[in-house]
Amino acid sequence: MSEKLAFRLAVIAAMAMLAIGAQMAVTALPCRELPMPALTAFELARNVDDLQRVFGLAGEACRAPITAQLDHANVLDAVAYIPAYTAFYALVLFGLGRRDKTIGWAGVAIALACAVADWIENAAMFQLSAAPDELSGWLLVLMISTNLKWVGLAVATTLGGVMLWRRGGLWRLALVACAVPLPVSLWALAAPDAAGSWLVPGMAVASVMLLAVAVWGSFARDAAAKA
């Protein structure tokens, strides 16, 4: 696959991400006040108390609507959103990696591994949403898979930034944007409540930068290899 084709396919994947993501909105109110969106709070849950902040106690009226919307979002995530974002990151990193093949292939491998971690995360979330009042080994599965996903994606976008840095000139500025998710995801390991609300915006900064690179590479005369 050529660099230009990889970038063009990445742009299509990004458009799919946006369309699918719009269908994953969770509008039902969580049962307790949260410092971050409900879906992120669910992902970062570490104990039953964290789950009950989202789902409330058994019998509370708020539980049914928030559970239904979170399960719906996770179905779309597993079926469509994970393949779309994995294709986007992997294709951009593949395109950038035509000049830095070792780094590029490492980034592609990490993006694929993150997809696996995200599917495992989804499996854990389905189990936990069905029984949020019970202490379960799925909480540990959720914690490990979620953190692997967020840190892994942050490493992948940072590698994209490193490849752009190596091209010199103004491309070096891209490393800053591409590396934004890394400190945020590491912060979330230690302080999920404090960092949780910044995970999605941090990834968005890097994603927009990589999308801009993909769009540029799609139409540049000789693609980004001549950057």
pLDDT at 21: 94
Asked if residues 45 and 51 have their Cβ atoms less than 8 Å apart, the reply is yes
State the pLDDT at residue 168: 85
Phi, psi dihedral angles at 50 (to 5 degrees): -65, -40
Spatial distance between the Cα atoms of 210 and 193, rounded to a whole number of angstroms: 28
| pLDDT for residue 100 | 87
Residues 63-78: what's their mean pLDDT? 96
- In this structure, the number of other CB atoms found within 10 A of the CB of residue 33 comes to 7
Cα distances (angstroms) measured from residue 20 to each of 13, 35, 81, 85, 185? 10, 25, 6, 10, 23
Of 139, 131, 9, 145, the residue nearest 77 (C-alpha): 145
Report the pLDDT averaged over residues 46-70. 94
Mean pLDDT of 31-51: 95
Does residue 36 register a pLDDT over 90?
yes
pLDDT at 220: 76
Alpha-carbon distance 13 to 9, whole Å?
6
**Residue 161 corresponds to which amino acid?**
G
Q: Residue 221 pLDDT > 70, yes or no?
A: no
Could you state, in order of their start, the residue ranges of all structural domains in the chain?
3-226
The Cα 6–Cα 4 span in angstroms is: 5
User: What is residue 146's predicted lDDT score, i.e. its pLDDT?
Assistant: 97
Q: Mean pLDDT across the stretch 192-213?
A: 96
pLDDT tens column, 86-130: 999 999 999 999 888 999 999 999 999 999 999 999 999 999 999
Share of the chain above pLDDT 70, in %: 97
